[in-house]
Amino acid sequence: MNFSKIPPFSLLVIMFVLFFSPRSIFSDPLMSGKEASEISKEFLRFAEKDEVFDWMVRLRRRIHENPELGFEEFETSKIIRDELDKMGIKYKYPVATTGLVGFVGSGKPPFVALRADMDALPLQELVEWEHKSKVPGKMHACGHDAHVAMLLGAAKILQEHCESLKGTVILVFQPAEEGAGGARRMIDAGILENVEAIFGLHVITDLPVGEVASKSGPIGAGVGFFEAIINGKGGHAAIPQHTIDPILAASNVIVSLQHLISREADPLDSQVVTVARFQGGEAFNVIPDSVTIGGSFRAFSKESFMQLRQRIEEVIVRQAAVQRCNATVDFTMKDNSFFPPTVNDKNLHTFFKKVAVGLLGVDKVKTTLPVMGSEDFAFFQEVIPGYFFLLGMKDEAKGKLSSPHSPHFTINEDAFPFGAALHASLATRYLLEYQKETSLPIEASHDEL
């Protein structure tokens, strides 16, 4: 706009409208940081209402009682769809067999996504309580039931203010996070088309309720799996000179694999190789013909990961040859043989800190160290900017919580309002920030004056 051609009185009117007209904190894309923080606090107050909190708790407990493994989450998905129907939220189902995607807001760009995983683990629950798993050998031991409840809570918050959303929030209810690559299947189904960014959370047991933690860059490792068959020549244990012992060869292979970490990897570039499977022989006095070993390897960058993969194969094949054996290595014995590192976008980290501090306070937003665990949220981050953070559940008054993937794992449901409000705040504020970035800056108009 060329302000030099606008009559002085008209220009005065324009400036008055820009700076002094009444503004809703839920609709103005150019709001102040203080006003934007008030949105988040209003969301938290809404999530803390007894009827909303109790509703999230009831949903989580229903899901907990009926755990379902990856790509089997039919009843879990039905519970979610029923609740979205009650809220008047449109959705697409099925996506990647049991997943679904909800839509809140204008139905128009920009689009930002929030993700929750739905699947349970093949564990027998050992916690005795009213809502213990009713399915033998299956349990929500990683908090995915809580993740679903909090995303539904965020959906309720967003729907309450849907007319003020400056774009559309995509609610991603994802199947099969636990090793089956559900995120990749959802991406293949096209759910990220035109989506600008995605956020996800995970409950954590050693961070207090009301606190969150994350970091820019790598927060979780990439992980791959390998299986090797080492072939020799079997025979009687009393005459080993007539055999080619694959057990001895496999033992040397395992030791040599550890040298990849201690003598080849940069100490500042953390990597792990673990052999967790060793199968060979059925008798005490018979040397077998072959041995099978298997394990996993992890790194925080794709480059380090691929280098480690190459060296694992070389070490297994060549070390076996030293012992006169031959070896074959398979990196694809699983449908998903590689999960990329979970890497948080730098710009989204700055944005997350701003939103989280506005909601929780500066002392409640922590920086975490990266961990060697993997998270298939990383597949989303390979396609679009993504951000993954940890939500605290610890309350000393309620006792120590067992770690995830334990049959004694429990959830502190007091964390639910914080997770729901932060989800909703990140989405709402992101859409507002996007509008701000794409609108004419006030500063530019001042320069032209």
Residue 146 belongs to a domain: yes
Do 94 and 130 reside in the same domain of the chain?
A: yes
**Has 161 been labeled as part of a binding site?**
no
Phi, psi (deg, nearest 5) at residue 312: -60, -45
Single residue among 290, 313, 338 that ends a domain in this structure: 338
- The pLDDT value recorded for residue 33 is 61
Do 303 and 394 reside in the same domain of the chain?
A: no
- Kindly state the tokens that stand for 100: 């679904």
Q: In 70-114, which residue ranges form alpha helices assigned H by DSSP?
A: 74-87
Do 360 and 229 reside in the same domain of the chain?
A: no
What is the pLDDT averaged over residues 240-255?
98
Do 254 and 299 reside in the same domain of the chain?
A: yes
Residue 358 belongs to a domain: yes
Residue 16 belongs to a domain: no
- The pLDDT value recorded for residue 180 is 84
CA atoms within 13 A on the CB side of 7: 3
Residue 20 belongs to a domain: no
Residue 80 belongs to a domain: yes
Residue 286 belongs to a domain: yes
Whether pLDDT at 367 is above 60: yes
Name the percent of the chain in helix, strand, coil, to the closest 5. 45, 25, 35
**Has 423 been labeled as part of a binding site?**
no
Do 334 and 391 reside in the same domain of the chain?
A: no
**Has 142 been labeled as part of a binding site?**
yes
Please provide the size of the chain in residues: 449
Indicate which CATH number applies to the domain containing 310. Answer: 3.30.70.360
Residue 298 belongs to a domain: yes
**Has 144 been labeled as part of a binding site?**
yes
CB of 126 closer than 8 Å to CB of 405: no
Do 206 and 354 reside in the same domain of the chain?
A: yes
- The pLDDT value recorded for residue 335 is 54
User: Is residue 110 reached through a cis peptide bond, with omega within 30 degrees of 0 on the bond before it?
Assistant: yes
Single residue among 308, 338, 368 that ends a domain in this structure: 338
Whether pLDDT at 115 is above 50: yes
Do 104 and 193 reside in the same domain of the chain?
A: yes
Q: What is the total count of domains within the chain?
A: 2
What is the pLDDT averaged over residues 160-173?
93
Return the amino acid letter for 344. Answer: N
What is the pLDDT averaged over residues 82-92?
98
- The pLDDT value recorded for residue 294 is 96
Do 232 and 290 reside in the same domain of the chain?
A: yes
Q: Which pLDDT tens digit goes with each residue over 41-65?
A: 999 999 999 999 999 999 999 999 9
- The pLDDT value recorded for residue 34 is 62
**Has 303 been labeled as part of a binding site?**
no
- Rounded to two decimals, the pTM is 0.86
Indicate which CATH number applies to the domain containing 87. Answer: 3.40.630.10
Do 85 and 118 reside in the same domain of the chain?
A: yes
Single residue among 306, 338, 370 that ends a domain in this structure: 338
Residue 3 belongs to a domain: no
Do 360 and 327 reside in the same domain of the chain?
A: no
Domain that holds residue 311: 222-338
Q: Which pLDDT tens digit goes with each residue over 3-53?
A: 444 454 444 433 433 333 334 444 454 455 667 778 899 999 999 999 999
Do 365 and 406 reside in the same domain of the chain?
A: yes
Do 91 and 151 reside in the same domain of the chain?
A: yes
